Amino acid sequence: MKLADCRAAYQDFSAKASDLSRKLGFSGIALIWVFKSSTEGAAPTLPKALFVPAFWIVSSLALDLMQYVLGALSWGSYARLQELRGMRADREFTAPRFINWGALVAFWLKLVSISIAYWYLLKFSSERFT
């Protein structure tokens, strides 16, 4: 096995985790919407127990966006800096280790947030249906 194989596997799994996290976020919003209550002519309201998972779902989706914004900002800025230094487009170079740190932190926080949200959703569902 080569280091490139490990990196490819990591990229595949992290991309899939991001996709699933996003889908879980939208599914969680839909699930919360199902449990909303409304009366004729009144605005829909949520049970108080769903505010916490809603917060974590929205946080997860915001962190999903933040991950890609930070990645684009880091790599775009670094590429522009290299251009300004006179780097040719076909020349090989090594990027600094810290360049992905912001996106990685957002990635892991996103997964933690969606996990917390679903823990609360499962808790709510189990209390509601048992």
Mean pLDDT per 10-residue section of the chain, whose length is 130 residues: 91 95 97 82 83 97 97 94 88 90 97 98 90
pLDDT of 40: 66
pLDDT of 43: 77
Q: How many domains does the chain have?
A: 1
Domain, as residue range, for 118:
3-37+44-129
How far is residue 82 from each of residues 62, 75, 112, measured CA to CA in Å? 30, 10, 34
Closest to 23 (Cα-Cα) out of 51, 55, 64: 64
pLDDT of 67: 97
pLDDT of 63: 98
* DSSP state letter for 39: -
